[in-house]
Amino acid sequence: MADDPNPDPGWYYNTRTHEVEHLERSRSIDLLGPYPDEATARRALDIARERNRQADAADREWDGD
């Protein structure tokens, strides 16, 4: 984790470790977020799954399927 003198106040979900991170964070490539609070960050995979479902539905509608 980086020692940032001015850390981002957001909450993040680490897809590699499956842990929620705040202030000190791992590499950006492993993170989803930022989220406004710890509870929302813990739901990151569910949020991403729902956003993907909505985007896929919008694509199908746009394609006329």
Q: What is the pLDDT of residues 5-26, one digit of tens each?
A: 777 889 999 999 999 999 988 9
Residue 51 lies in a domain: yes
Q: How confident is the model at residue 24, as a pLDDT?
A: 87
Residue 4 lies in a domain: no
3-state secondary structure of 31: strand
Q: How confident is the model at residue 7, as a pLDDT?
A: 74
Residue 5 lies in a domain: no
Instruction: Give the tokens for residue 62.
Output: 């746009």
Cβ count within 10 A of residue 5: 4
Q: How confident is the model at residue 36, as a pLDDT?
A: 96
Residue 31 lies in a domain: yes
Residue 1 lies in a domain: no
35 beta partners: 11
Q: Which domain holds residue 32?
A: 11-63
Residue 52 lies in a domain: yes
Residue 36 lies in a domain: yes
31 beta partners: 14
Q: Say how far apart CA 13 and CA 61 lie, in whole Å.
A: 31
* pTM score, whole prediction: 0.78
pLDDT digits (tens, 9 = 90+) for 21-62: 999 889 999 999 999 999 999 999 999 999 999 999 999 999
Residue 2 lies in a domain: no
Q: Which amino acid is at 8?
A: D
Question: Into how many domains does the chain fold?
Answer: 1
